[in-house]
Amino acid sequence: MCSETGGIRRFYDPHMEDAQLRATGRCLCGAVTFEVRGLLRDVVLCHCVECRRWSGTYGAFAAAANDDLVVYGDALRWIESPASNRHARRAFCSECGSSLFWQAADAERTGIAAGTLDPPTGLQRAAHIYTHDAPDWDALPEDGLPRDPDSSHVPRWT
């Protein structure tokens, strides 16, 4: 099932008019652009099967509060993420196919594909999740990051 930009604020929503710009980003072709006007979470590396099939490798997602994400352009499409244990949906550009966003059902934040953010971001890698789903070719590095942290682990928001 596809929908338009449901769930993401647009530039004309009142909350956004005076908010501080934190980051910008876009898809490959530029048909979808976005701004983050609030805090941005450090990048979480997801090794689940769905992220692997969505991106071709593990997923790398920053995140922003839904109210802080402003999307421009009419090419954004949402699809259900069928095997998600969080009943998530994913967004992509219908023009170039770039993977852009991930959002769990009833979540107050949206995951943003880290590679779509314009540098510099000031972000760091924060954790590896769903490492039990990593395929044999995805040798997890000894990078000191938490692996499959419990809910007490809170990545940095800047």
In a domain, 32, yes or no: yes
CA 78/CA 20 separation, integer angstroms? 27
Number of domains in the chain: 1
More confident residue, 13 or 122: 122
Would you say residue 28 lies in a domain?
A: yes
Is residue 2 assigned to a domain?
Answer: no
pTM: 0.85
What is the C-alpha separation between 144 and 94, in angstroms, rounded?
37
User: Looking at residue 90, which CATH number applies to its domain?
Assistant: 2.170.150.70
Residue given tokens 């995951």 in the structure block: 111
Q: In sequence order, what are the residues at sequence separation of 6 or more whose Cβ sits closer than 8 angstroms to the Cβ of residue 93?
A: 27, 28, 29, 31, 32, 73, 75, 76, 77, 100
Give the domain extent around 31. 14-133
Does residue 6 surpass a pLDDT of 70?
Answer: no
Domain contains 125: yes
Residue 140 lies in a domain: no
| Residue 129 domain-assigned (yes or no) | yes
Q: Is residue 157 part of a domain?
A: no
Q: In this model, does residue 12 exceed pLDDT 50? A: no
* Interval 46-96: pLDDT, tens: 998 999 989 999 999 999 999 999 999 999 999 998 777 778 899 999 999
